[in-house]
Structure 1
Amino acid sequence: MNAQGIAGLKYLEKEIATCERRIARIKGDPDPTKPKSNVLLYELERDFRIEQREAYLSGKPLGLLGLGPLTRAMGMVPWDAIMAADRTHGSEATRYFNIIRKGGMPEHTCDRCSVLIPMMSEGDFPRPSYLETSNFECIPVYLAHLIMAETMDVPHFHVDRPFKNYKGELDDASLKFVTDQLYQMIEDIEAKVPGCKYDEDYMIELQEYNRQYLQYFQQLWELKAAIPCPLSGRESFREVRLADMYPDPKKAVEYMRLYVEEVGDKVAKGVSAAQPEEKLRLLWSVAGPFYADPFSWLEQRGVAIPAAEMTIYNGWFSKREAIWGDPWKGRKLTPIEEEARQLDFTWGRLGQPWVDTHINSCKDLHLDGIIYFMQWGCPTSNNMGKVVADTAEKELGIPTLLVEGRMLESSIFDSKDFFSKLEDFIAVAEARKNDRSKQKNS
């Protein structure tokens, strides 16, 4: 058994039980307002946690390399403690923050990264066998992974990537610079982690599943433009796991096919998530209070949330960002070059692409405003909030609500103040929408 002991199963056992309850509820007494395909999603999530549990108990390596395919192609089970930390809101998060405060650790960085530290030090999630630390995403995530590697003696490799948008610019030199580092990392893993050997055929297979998976998301993006929008805000806000993250990526692709089919049927019938009818369409950006439900509250007031802005996802969905298998200057990239291309991630770039993706999403989906959640300790997004708001005002004539808060730590949450700000913003956005309509018709 892993030296961490049985405590490392705590989180996994809780999540397996949660998924089992949801699966049973959907099969026994399904909610007609929610997608039937959700049963496949929860089966995928359950099976992933079971796979992690079995890897932990048997000593099979867990790791995190870039966006995913390379992890499995190296013979490791994906380690996703950052995403796992997102599900510790409420009393669990409070327990972790109390540990942070008692230990004199900083608590004002990104909540998911803060929680990761005690979550791992308390042994509530399995220790990884190897980590890639990189500046491809945000600085807090990079530092959290680095802290894990250093304090838990985890072998790791830092991949340095240019801040420029080398994917969009088709910059061969930058692509080669990152690709060469990935080959070096592969050699390091094979030397340091027993049982790990790069399998290129499996890598190609996983990349193809990711391509098919994202192609369904691209179809979904077009459906999100429908007025009214049938997707609930909770559906829009759900962070994406790529197909390769799951032990059965083929099933993940099938889930997305069925989900898109369900959404398409709702669009054809004119189903609206906002009630009694859709009067406003807003973009939700960055993060949100996971311990509250602003989305149902908004829908009850006629406000739809067709999309959420989180790093690169909407770029993939809108076909503005290359996905796995897209050509590079007319040629097909090698599997490792493809992983190097995908490490050109929006949050690892300069600020303009982050602004651009907001404007593009608003244009594509006919949105009337932006709710920009200023998550404590998120320098990547917080520093750009005012720039996004000013640009949306100048280019689209739509308002932005900059609202400060925390993802997981609920002790500072003032529900009355938060929802009062949303209420006031709805009135502003609706008035501005009416003004634009009058100007268009005059």
Structure 2
Amino acid sequence: MNLIETFGAQVSALSASNPARARRLLTTGFRANGWKNRLFHGKTTPSERTLFQLVNQSMITCLARPEDNVMVSLFTPCELLHIQGLHPYSCEGFSSYLSGSMVEQGFLRQAEETGIPSSLCSYHKVFIGAAQKNLMPKPRFILSTTLACDANMLTFRHLAEFYDVPHFSVDVPFESSPQAVDYVAGQLRQMGEFLTRQTGIPVDESRLAASVARSQRTLENYKTFLTQRAGKQMLSDLTGELYRTAAFHFLLGTEGTERYTRQLLQEVTQAPPAAGKQLLWIHTTPYWVLPLRQLFAQNPRVQIAACDMNYEGITEADPNRPYEAMAKRLVYSSFNGPAQRRIDRALEVARQTKADGAIWFCHWGCKHTLGGARLGKKTLEEAGIPTLILDGDSCDRGFGGEGQAATRVEAFLEVLEAMA
């Protein structure tokens, strides 16, 4: 049993007998991981270290200062929270960290034993189980959207009842139109009023506009980066894409995330020409699969050029109309509407980054991704982009298939290399 397994076993055991102590141990572990990254960062770049510290500190803050926590779903715009000094408490983000701590299995069992269906997304099941075990601190209230994940409409309502806290949900229409933007913008204004009632602090409209302007600059920086990295060697790994997902969702609008994208732009100008294969990755990355993690870890042979979890919200919007700008990110997200929109956007980014191939990862429980896989593969390959459909689970080690997944990716990579 390695150090992380030992740590996970202790947190799991304490969760059953002394949840408060388990939470303190988890906080200590996250802090230690932060110090390790500062002192022994290996070959990672300044932008990668900035990104890690941003996300890691966010997890620590939510455990250490729970009085300011607001639980959110992944696609919830969080600029309103940032300007009021509240901390977005991400269900999916915490589940990733719990899985990274090798403690998720007990929480998965806990959730399923209380009637949560096995087909529900493992990110949501892990968090529900951890909440039921009293490991996760109670939030002040909950904000969520209906975007992309049908589990959102179940999980956050369930958690609001479990914690007995207020819940505000933003309904995102399936169709994308200016009318839909106006409809969602109206709900976001209501969300601001909801925050005012909960906190007693009125929304500062000028600060909100500044935060949304920061979000727009951040996403524009990343869009520019995707174009400039075409034909460049930017070494990557599987966990980095998950950290980036956090930064471009519940940490979007913060100074730290904008600083991270500026660092990316500096680094890409100094990057050498690409020597290996560049892949477009669709959906979340199964970072816990050791052979896959080793294959992608800072490897000149293969890099992830882009992941659709991280570019889905890039839109042009006027930050002087902050509610409409946030609404536009939701309504015109490539995750909203028919699967063909997500596929067309993937094809666009594959061409933008000059990707050599694509991996469509079918995370168990994500019906949106599973349902579009075959159509996505057909569309991408007809456009000349070889595509591998890979099944697995990004959060649940009990899913298995580690060796098979790595073997299939290795074989796919050999095919791409033979085509050169």
Q: TM-score, normalised by structure 1?
A: 0.79
How do 1:5-404 residues align onto structure 2 when only pairs under 5 Å count? 7=19, 10-11=22-23, 14-15=26-27, 17-27=29-39, 29-31=40-42, 33-53=43-63, 55-56=65-66, 59-60=67-68, 62-64=70-72, 66-74=76-84, 76-89=86-99, 91-166=102-177, 171=178, 173-191=179-197, 193-232=198-237, 234-236=239-241, 238-242=243-247, 245=250, 249-265=254-270, 267=271, 269-270=272-273, 277-278=275-276, 280-293=277-290, 294-298=292-296, 302-310=301-309, 313-315=310-312, 321-323=314-316, 326-327=317-318, 333-344=320-331, 345-394=333-382, 396-404=383-391
Question: Residue 231 of structure 1: CA displacement?
Answer: 4.0
Q: Distance in 2 between matches of 1:49 and 1:79?
A: 8
1:282 partner SS: strand
Q: Distance in 2 between matches of 1:25 and 1:75?
A: 26
Give deviations 1:364-390, integer Å, cap 9, x for gaps.
Answer: 122222211111110111100001001
Q: Distance in 2 between matches of 1:414 and 1:47?
A: 32
Question: Residue 118 of structure 1: CA displacement?
Answer: 0.8
Contact 1:44 1:248 in 2 (8 A): no
Q: Distance in 2 between matches of 1:365 and 1:84?
A: 30
Contact 1:233 1:295 in 2 (8 A): yes
Q: Distance in 1 between matches of 2:361 and 2:56?
A: 30
> Once superposed, what is the RMSD of the aligned Cα atoms?
3.0
Structure 2: stretches of 5+ with no match in the other structure: 1-17
1:370 partner SS: strand
Contact 1:213 1:242 in 2 (8 A): no
Q: Distance in 2 between matches of 1:36 and 1:216?
A: 16
- Report the CA distance shift for 1:382/1:286 in structure 2 as closer, same or farther (over 3 A): same
Equivalent residue for 2:402, pick from 415, 420, 426: 415
Question: Residue 421 of structure 1: CA displacement?
Answer: 1.6
1:240 partner SS: helix
Give deviations 1:30-49, integer Å, cap 9, x for gaps.
Answer: 41x21134443344335434
2:255 partner SS: helix
My pick for the range that moved more, 136-145 or 379-388, is 136-145
2:315 is aligned with what amino acid? A
Q: Distance in 1 between matches of 2:85 and 2:307?
A: 33
Q: Distance in 2 between matches of 1:298 and 1:48?
A: 26
Q: TM-score, normalised by structure 2?
A: 0.83
Structure 1: stretches of 5+ with no match in the other structure: 1-5, 435-442
Contact 2:339 2:372 in 1 (8 A): yes
Contact 1:113 1:144 in 2 (8 A): yes
2:245 partner SS: coil
- Report the CA distance shift for 1:346/1:154 in structure 2 as closer, same or farther (over 3 A): farther
Q: Distance in 2 between matches of 1:358 and 1:7?
A: 42
Q: Distance in 1 between matches of 2:28 and 2:253?
A: 16
1:347 partner SS: coil
1:82 partner SS: helix
Question: Residue 7 of structure 1: CA displacement?
Answer: 3.7
Contact 1:26 1:39 in 2 (8 A): yes
2:26 is aligned with what amino acid? K
- Report the CA distance shift for 1:418/1:22 in structure 2 as closer, same or farther (over 3 A): same
Question: Residue 155 of structure 1: CA displacement?
Answer: 1.0
Question: Residue 217 of structure 1: CA displacement?
Answer: 1.4
- Report the CA distance shift for 1:238/1:343 in structure 2 as closer, same or farther (over 3 A): same
Contact 1:75 1:198 in 2 (8 A): no
Tell me the residue number matched to 1:437. none
Contact 1:73 1:200 in 2 (8 A): no
Aligned residues: 397
Contact 1:7 1:124 in 2 (8 A): yes
Of structures 1 and 2, the larger Rg is shown by: 1
2:362 partner SS: strand
My pick for the range that moved more, 195-204 or 115-124, is 195-204
- Report the CA distance shift for 1:372/1:49 in structure 2 as closer, same or farther (over 3 A): closer
2:88 is aligned with what amino acid? P
Contact 1:63 1:71 in 2 (8 A): no
Q: Distance in 2 between matches of 1:244 and 1:420?
A: 32
- Report the CA distance shift for 1:423/1:255 in structure 2 as closer, same or farther (over 3 A): closer
Tell me the residue number matched to 1:439. none
- Report the CA distance shift for 1:19/1:252 in structure 2 as closer, same or farther (over 3 A): farther
Q: Distance in 2 between matches of 1:72 and 1:25?
A: 25
Contact 2:31 2:60 in 1 (8 A): no
1:139 partner SS: coil
Contact 1:62 1:76 in 2 (8 A): yes
